[in-house]
Chain A
Amino acid sequence: MRRILFAILIVGAVPALTFAQGGRGGGRGGPPPQGKAGAPVDLSGYWVSPIFEDYRWRMFTPLKGDAASVPINDAARKIVDAWDPAKDEAAGEQCKAYGAAGIMRVPGRLHITWQDDNTLKIETDAGTQTRLFHFTGQAPKEGEPSWQGYSAAKWEVTALPGGPAGVGLGMLPRQGTKSRTLDVVTTQLRPGYLRKNGVPYGANTTLTEYYDHWSEPSGQEWFTVTTVVTDPEYLAIPFVTTTDFKKEPDGSKFNPRPCTAR
């Protein structure tokens, strides 16, 4: 094993050979396949999110004004203090806390399926929302803002601090690590809530998510989504959380119910 490793390290250091393999590192012979065909892990199935962390902010509608842990700014604080669920209901906006930036923190279950070879579909029972992860590239120019926005997905090639994945570094193309992570970038979002009690995110929010699959020693499957909410309007720094989902044998507990504002 170490021998092989040694070989690869050297290969990584030799232009002639690595160019031949295509510069995007990671997989050999050009960019790795995307979509269903390129999936290094299987995320399809029914998943539940047990509430281990942020319990009193997730399990209940927190008290008015409670923005603890969220790096909000003054503009956001004003909105938090003005929160009025009745108003949201009257405006038909009771789904504000079920938008892409908040939905994964709402206690509930997910049903994940491949809608087609290039589209991964996530349905939530809480608020009966549907998220579509498109493996076909960037968002269309003129997209209509919505609760779930437009999600561009790709299987991560390699993790490179502060730069796009897998590009060359100077003269040497980069030999990367085989990744099992699903990267999703979501934009064109309709303003919503990070928390049920009106902690806001705005229209210019960019939502970056990393889906990582892992298993307990018992073999029980889980995935953890690392969520990075970047919102120049209401957040001082990106808001980063991780939410853990446990695989369920079937959909018997999948219980669709409408959004509620309270």
Chain B
Amino acid sequence: MKIFKQIGIAGLLVLTSVPGYSEIDFTGSWTPLFHEDYPERFPGPELGDYMGIPVNAAGRLRGDSYDADRISMVSQYECRPHGSDYNMRGSANLRISRDLDPVTQAPVAFHTFIGFQSAQRTIWLDGRPHPPEYADHSWAGFSTGVWDGNMLNITTTHLKEYYIRRNGVPRSDQAVVTEHWTRHGNYLTVIVVINDPVFLTEPLVRSENWIYDPGQEILPSNCEPAPEVPNPPGVITPHHLPGTNPFLHEVADWYGIPYDAVRGGAETMRPEYRKVMGKPEHVPEKCERYCDCGKDAGACNLH
């Protein structure tokens, strides 16, 4: 009975409709694959490693001044979730859900939930405008998505200042992030493009992969800043004065890399840079740090 009705309606509509296409569905639980930069993403980046970032002088000095104690001494840093641009590179699992318009069944929004610090984000698909410039910013920012075939193109504004790499290279609250999500079978590919006039000389492009993982449990995380020890007298925000950071050469020496390359910058990221990059000051015999991260699809042991 119902079927006949449908055919009736459908027939009618088909006559009046031009070909259109439904969207890819990203909903479900996903686990990140760390097949690129595993040691950076977990257990964490080396200090002073700006490789692969088209960083400007300002961003580089912020990184040089960064003291990791900041996270524990400035209590407001303790419970921050990642910015939504960094989150797709982070080390927690991801759940994506979707709102549909009850009448048209057209997708209204995707919601992402990431276990680390309960990071939540909405990507609006209904064509709504972004808020005015004088509205408040957030870790997730304000995201709108537009479909291009099987690719969702996302634009994010209103981000809070955060970092591009967890060693102090910042991403400013003026950044505009564009993303391109697509899905191939059980693989989710997320391309993140960060445009930051404040700290980057050109867009930063990073692409991550997630694998479909139904049935995983993602719990909200509870976090309360709890300063364990008071700051040393006079210290409000720990940092290294310019030219005094003793750790900047470590990464070059540990991995046998020219120091200039470690400092990052757009010019160091072109293939032709290999011709001019110069010689490392120190080259170890063989790999000694994180050489087996991800071996047998396992975690990252330190040797």
Q: A residues near B, CB below 8 A?
A: 1-14, 16-17, 26, 28, 40, 48-56, 59-60, 62-74, 77, 107-109, 126, 156, 158-163, 175-181, 183, 210, 212, 214, 216-217, 222, 224, 226, 228, 236-237, 239-244, 253, 255
Contacts and interface: CB of A to CB of B under 8 A. Distances in A.
Given A8-B20, A40-B149, A48-B270, A226 B209 contact: yes
A180 B187 contact: no
A212 B151 contact: yes
Contact of B150 (A12, A156, A253): A156
7 nearest A-B residue pairs (beta carbon): A242-B207, A66-B287, A7-B13, A107-B271, A69-B38, A55-B52, A55-B51
Q: Is the interface of A mostly helix, strand, loop or mixed?
A: loop
Given A212-B151, A244-B207, A50 B270 contact: yes
B69 interface: no
Point out which of B38, B151, B185, B277 has the most chain A C-beta atoms below 10 A from its C-beta.
B185
A28 B257 CA distance: 54
B185 A161 contact: yes
B72 interface: no
16 contacts: A5-B22, A7-B17, A8-B19, A52-B205, A53-B36, A53-B207, A55-B52, A62-B287, A70-B35, A74-B296, A178-B149, A181-B150, A214-B153, A214-B180, A236-B297, A240-B33
Contacts of A243: 207
Contact of B6 (A14, A48, A108): A14
Interface in B258-298: 261, 266, 269-274, 277, 283-288, 290-297
A198 to B, nearest CB: 12
B39 interface: yes
A7 B35 contact: no
Contacts of B53: 52
